[in-house]
Structure 1
Amino acid sequence: MVPLKGLPSGVVALTVPRKGPEGPRVPRDRRGRVAPRQVDLVTEDAVPPFQPPIGFPSGDLIWLLRIEGQKQWATVTKRLGKTAWEIVVALLRSGGVVVRCEVTSELGYKPLRLRLSAAWAAVAADQLRQLTDQPDPYAARQALLERMADVPQMADERALLAAMPENDDLDVPPGSRSGAKRWSLYDHAIRAACTWFSRYAGTDQVDATELAAVAFQESHTKWTPPLRAAFANLVGMSWDSAVLPIDTEVTLRGPLRWTIGEVVADAATSVPWIGLPSNGLCTLGVVESRARGVLLIENKSNFERVCAIPEIVDRWLCVWGRGYARDGLVTLVRALAPEHVAAWGDLDAHGIAIVADLAERLERSVVPVGMDPEIFRTGVKRKRTDEERRDARELAEKMATSAPEPLRPLAELIAMSGDSCEQETTRQRVVPQLPRMLRAIENGDLVRCP
């Protein structure tokens, strides 16, 4: 712990290790004394896994639980207002957040970023469902009773729910095998278990995405640790035994090496590129990268052309984006924490939205390359139906005010016409300029494609 001056009661400061050639190390000065430049503020006491401060507004709680990664302190103060620090201190004491701070002179401190604590992040999706999805109590109970009716393995759970009094409270039946305490978690676990018993028990043929798609009609549902545990309780076996593991392959080339055991995957020497599991990269072995930045390219043929340019792949890690970035790709870029992130997408409304989505999920700046208004004006336009143009104009109008600033002029042009220029048609103008543009990003200069 670091004895910072003026820390609120119930809050402690922990040293943030520095990265070293032999792994993380405690920062020390020349005399060997602990000398941190940054610290994390956390709660000092043992607290319940999830118990927001009394009176904490539900709207702010929803905003907080939707945080993935970190929020800059300026964003936090803009959201919470003049009393932001007092609110964050209450959240720190409840174990809900961690605040990264810069250590100033004479052991003072300055907040830099905020993130959810591991305990709150683990239950965030379940809590959000509880806060944002409030169904009619009678209809919700009846729907779940009907879902369990034809599943013999769920007869005991159905009997427990049927015996509950019909009122305005959606309570989990006492004695439920799920172990859930909240209705939203109980509801999802019951539906998943019914689907598993009806379609997949004994087959060893379902992964988490398919199970979510069938059980919830939403393949992107987050399988939080509490939801996995409740499901496992209902089916009577561990999550890993009941559901196949799934990973997302990331296609890339550039200065990155992944060492796992005696095996080395080198993205710098693999031709034309290499495909690696995103979750494995983040959790197994050792990842080494000397890349100056990460460049995401939406179109595969353009990605392959760029991978053949030594001047680029010697310095930048090039990744095939495949449209909207998957969670695994976002997790990987966060873990690498490159100095720069750039993206080259289609010159259309969705191309802009893809870059905006990536920047929001990474919570950092993403520099667009090859997505200039002049290229769009003179580029080959894709054939589109009236309906496609209308949808493009509507999305572009939103992007004109919400996308990263450099992309807003392009969004304004698309909002007027609904036109689209695919990446392939801009290749001859963009690829020859890419080395220069990436150098400009490294130097902090304005990026333009003449």
Structure 2
Amino acid sequence: MVAQNAQLVTPVPGPSSQALQARRTQAVSKAVGTVLPVYVDEASGGILRDVDGNQLIDFASGIAVTSVGNSDPRVVARVTEQVQRFTHTCFMVSAYEGYVEVCEQLNELTPGDHEKRSALFNSGAEAVENAVKIARYATGRQAVVAFDHAYHGRTNLTMALTAKSMPYKAGFAPFAGEIYRVPMAYPYRWPTGAENCADEAFETFVSQVHTQVGEERTAAVILEPIQGEGGFIVPAPGFVAKVAHWCRDNGIVFIADEVQTGFCRTGDWFASEHEQVVPDLVTTGKAIAGGLPLAGVTGRAELMDAVHAGGLGGTYGGNPLACAAALGAIETMRADDLTARAARLGETLRNRLTQLADKYEVIGDVRGRGLMQAVELVSDRATKTPDPAATAAVTAACHKAGLLTLTCGTFGNVFRFLPPLVIGEDLLDEGLSIFENALAGVA
């Protein structure tokens, strides 16, 4: 296990990372980007140690994947035991208990006490794509409604659902059809103010679906309970519940994309729980398996069982090693009560970010829940003009000082904070101090 302290022994990136980067340019497609060109040698808890011996504070968790920390002991133990027994059979060819057990856990943990079924896949995008397939098959309808600022993946269908063009969609058209987009209830940027956002956004949503799509043609509405890549946008209170209820009234499948928000990240097992929303289908991924590739779709039994046998699946979906990792990760989440820890550390994070907003005019908004929070940087608070240049400068300063941070947002001006849920409080505080110093240097 890596010692949980930050230290820099070389500039970032160091000479060994630079040498690997030179090799990379000759071997890896330039189309695959990297936030920080340091090469990790070992990691655990809230620390990444690179090949030069630098120990960086991790505020990214591999984009919300290593919520239980890298190399969590329960994950390691279960994967080690499984890899010694067998590595693959393909569940569609010859089944195994791990797949069944993960589905049982998903059926238990996702919102609602109705009868559920689950199916496992490789990635969040794959889960989303299959959720849409299920909704279309079960309803006999084709249209799918998504929101501004949404991110749902990089496959052809999920690119169509994703809102932001660059870098996710530019040059890759044509996209899948029968996808329609409506405004998101974005309180900070709602034209008539946050206090009007929920009601007006819902009225706009209902009107646009009715006039541009037709309720009778709509198979599904897909929504992130907190939007991820789009800017950690927390919809106005009540909006998600209104949409879910409207879907139920109109025979439309409500899909909650919990790929980034799920598994304790927001202080609940799933972000939908915050407003007591019970989705028809829930997509999961990222943190489900402690770093191994796994994703799922969980939903009402009548929907999940509607598709013909063989209609869902994939060679690696629910691979035995990934299932073992998921069972280990879920065990750690339960044993260490990571929902409560995310909520408690989230209060610390929120208080610190709020203090920074009081001090620095460049912070226009602080938002999020649990250990999924963000600040939006603007050049003018009155006009709320996005400031991607300041965001890039603060990012560079954080990286130079040994803090791995991520940005997001439609306008490229949002810092997202995604530390592992097991990060030490001292390490969290140290990382926030690095962020403040970087912010001060720019602001």
TM-score, normalized by the shorter chain, greater than 0.5:
no
TM-score computed with the length of structure 1 as normaliser: 0.25
Which of the two has greater helix per residue? Answer: 1
Q: Report the structure number with the largest CA radius of gyration.
A: 1
TM-score by length of 2: 0.25
